[in-house]
With several copies, the nearest count.
Chain A
């Protein structure tokens, strides 16, 4: 069954949930489609997302179903259409925008940080700003320094914003649905290297909620590995390797970058006594420093060794494939780091 057929099938019994094996890309499409059906106040804007289904095909079929007024191709003007999302939200709509590459969040940074994230607060809490900003980021596809960033940390310090990062189809589906229903601005960072990865997702599930913190994806007793986006897969692969040597690593997907809630990670560390974080970003200004700092305050006495952070280097990512690959944290490197701490 193609994604479209699957969704057509789901359409007949919209409230009937069925666990399906789908791709991350299909999960995004399914979430958008179901939520746009559910609430006529939703609409989506972005570059070339209409008839073409989106440069990464993350809006496939939406234009056909919802038409040009709810699935809107925009000019190349991220400040314009991201700002427009705020105007829509203030006047009763629930806009979703797609930023083609997360790297382009730079051109609309002001609208997000200064307008969208602060508007409710500055109004004294008198307005609501239900806005979803989806941005596709990430390295590994040889797109060079300006098209390979996850941008995870750019808006990490901006109060008033929620930031979530799905690492598998199930999360992509559930978290995006919840984000669309959330009455606050939510930045959804998706990873383009994950688009074709497959996994089981409860398609048709109506009862969704924004996650309130990290999620344990694989339990383990000997070490805690926390990762986001594409690094989660690397962490799981590292856990597989470690398992062969009898080391049981617990793998946690941080999944909600803001507001950050490290309690589940601290709980894990209280059991494993070892913490390793893996982040597809430069060594400074990222969530892994926040996680380490917070875990240290919450579980200081339980740490057997200083937590280790695995990140990108402190320079832009190179284009050349071997170089790019060498800088993306690998399962080997993660596993070796864990072992070095045991």
Chain B
């Protein structure tokens, strides 16, 4: 676990304090929804409904939910193959998400994209990038767009710890800083690339060190504490809207499952996994809200049951949805 991260976590508690009770509860419900979605995806994968491969974000829900809460509807968000959570947090329709993963005509991308490429431009979800690092320059372009349009939008870009070693990361951060673009780089540092620990591929664990070298504002955040994530994001977003330039948030977190498909993630020490499971963001936040008296345990159980049934219903509808037509005009999907 990262002591400093935990220590820093509520540094900007001011922002979090501004959340209404409803917002706080809503955050929990979003996290529950994402967790239930991913659990269902895993089941559907094993049933053969999800094809190829899939990358789940269980354990990282606080980052998706916390950042999304700090955004406006007209902000831009980009992410990776591990992007289901970001999409749901922005309001992507559950059934459209499942249907896309199932390769159906009713999917968010009509079944042409798949699990790694959920896109929903109407929710500002500009794209899921399967090539590590590729989303960052694109987010920079969306940030430039926001700057030019002058409507105080921001562009948020999610990526993993493994992405910080590839060239695209570097070029993107430099340009964003030199042009002072409203881009929030959110690094979900879950300590692993596919099977390699971060210290195997990077000289240190705290990626804020690297980001700071672009003269960029950085913040190390406990990525398993949704209010800490929200607070950090809200601060960075407010500054960016106000022409304060880009920011880099490093959210320390952990994926509960393997990298993709059925990866058992044997490369991780059991003690490490156990320690992180104890800091499950969902349980922590649920307990916090209960302790604060905002909700009761049974409220929380109800949220879970509701989410689970909404998820199940959406998955069932998606599974019953038609396959995309072989007769559609694919060239019209390629060129306007």
A144 touches B113 (CB 8 A): yes
B195 touches A48 (CB 8 A): yes
Q: Beyond A48-B195, A76-B132, A107-B166, is A92–B149 a contact (Cβ under 8 Å)?
A: yes
Which positions 106-133 of chain B face chain A at CB distance < 8 Å?
A: 107-117, 119-121, 126-127, 129-133
Q: A81-B175, A83-B138, A115-B131 are in contact. Are A124 and B107 (CB under 8 A)?
A: yes
**Size of interface on A: residues with Cβ below 8 Å to B:** 71
A320-B134 in contact given A74-B201, A84-B144, A93-B145 (Cβ < 8 Å): no
CB pair B193–A76 under 8 Å, yes or no, is yes
How far does the Cβ of A245 sit from chain B's closest Cβ, in whole Å?
27
Instruction: A55 to B193: give the CA distance in the assembly, Å.
Output: 12
Judged by a CB distance under 8 angstroms, whether A52 is at the interface is: yes
**A219 at the B interface (CB under 8 A):** no
- Among A125-133, A166-174, A285-293, A328-336, the stretch that binds chain B is A125-133
B175/A51 in contact, CB under 8 A: no
Contact assessment for A47 and B194 in the assembled complex, using a CB-CB cutoff below 8 Å: yes
Type the 1/0 row for A175-196, where 1 means its CB is closer than 8 Å to any CB of B: 0000000011000000000000
Closest 10 CB pairs of A and B: A87-B141, A83-B137, A319-B114, A80-B171, A142-B52, A124-B110, A320-B103, A84-B141, A125-B333, A142-B51
Is A315 interfacial (CB-CB < 8 Å)?
yes
Contact: B145 with A75, CB < 8 Å? Answer: no
Contact with B along A4-25 (1 / 0, CB 8 A): 0000000000000000000000
On whether the beta carbons of A115 and B138 are closer than 8 Å, the reply is yes
Q: Give 28 A-B contacts (CB < 8 Å), ordered by A residue.
A: A47-B193, A76-B166, A77-B167, A79-B168, A80-B167, A83-B136, A83-B138, A83-B141, A87-B145, A88-B141, A89-B141, A90-B127, A107-B166, A107-B167, A110-B134, A115-B127, A120-B333, A120-B334, A122-B112, A122-B113, A123-B109, A123-B127, A142-B53, A144-B115, A315-B330, A318-B111, A319-B51, A321-B51
Given contacts A88-B145, A122-B117, 6 further A-B contacts (CB under 8 A): A76-B133, A80-B140, A88-B142, A95-B141, A143-B114, A323-B326
Residues of B in contact with A, size category: 35 or more
| CB contact under 8 A between A75 and B174, given known A83-B141, A87-B141, A315-B330 | yes
* B303: min CB distance to chain A, Å: 31
Nearest CB on B from A178, distance (A): 14
Kindly state whether residue B215 has any CB partner on chain A within 8 Å: no
Across the interface, A124 reaches (CB within 8 A) one of B108, B142, B165, namely B108
User: In this assembly, does A243 line the interface, its C-beta being within 8 Å of a C-beta of chain B?
Assistant: no
Q: Across the interface, do B175 and A123 meet the contact criterion of CB distance under 8 Å?
A: no
Of B136, B155, B171, the most chain A CB neighbours within 10 A belong to B171
Structural contact, B51 and A77, CB atoms closer than 8 A? no
B78's closest neighbor in chain A, by CB?
Answer: A87
The reply on B41 being an interface residue by CB < 8 A is: no
Q: Which residues of chain A are near B175, meaning CB under 8 Å? A: 74-75, 77, 80-81, 84
Chain A's closest residue to B192 (CB) is A48
B contact residues vs A (CB 8 Å cutoff): 51-53, 76, 78, 103-104, 107-117, 119-121, 126-127, 129-134, 136-146, 148-149, 155, 162-163, 165-168, 171-172, 174-175, 178-179, 193-196, 200-202, 267, 323-324, 326, 330-336
Q: Are A79 and B324 in contact (CB under 8 A)?
A: no
Residues of chain A contacted by B109 (CB below 8 angstroms): 122-124, 126, 319
Q: Which A residues lie at the B interface, using CB under 8 A? A: 43, 47-48, 51-52, 55, 69, 72-93, 95, 103-104, 106-107, 110-111, 114-115, 119-128, 141-147, 159-160, 162, 183-184, 313-316, 318-323, 326
**Chain A nearest Cβ from B146, distance in angstroms:** 7
A133 to chain B: closest CB distance in Å? Answer: 13
A94 CB to nearest B CB, Å: 11
Verify A87–B144 contact, CB threshold 8 A. Answer: yes
Q: Which residues of A contact B155 (CB under 8 A)?
A: 87
The answer for the CA separation of A69 and B131 in the assembled complex, in Å, is 27
Residues on A with C-beta less than 8 A from B331 are: 314-315
- Given known contacts A122-B117, A146-B116, A322 and B324 CB-to-CB distance under 8 angstroms: yes
B333 touches A124 (CB 8 A): yes
Does A321 lie within 8 Å of B334, measured CB to CB? Answer: no
**Bound Cα distance from A77 to B172, whole angstroms:** 8
Pair B131/A90 contact, Cβ less than 8 Å: no
How far is B104's CA from A319's CA once the two chains are assembled, in angstroms? 10
In this complex, the member of B104, B138, B142, B194 whose beta carbon has the largest number of chain A beta carbons within 10 angstroms is: B138
CB-CB < 8 A to A147: which residues of B? Answer: 52, 116, 130
- Cβ 8 A contact of B119, one of A43, A73, A123, A184: A123
Contact indicator B172/A125 (Cβ below 8 Å): no
A148 CB, nearest partner CB in chain B, Å: 9
Q: Which residue of B lies closest to A88 (CB)?
A: B141
B255, chain A: closest CB distance, angstroms: 15
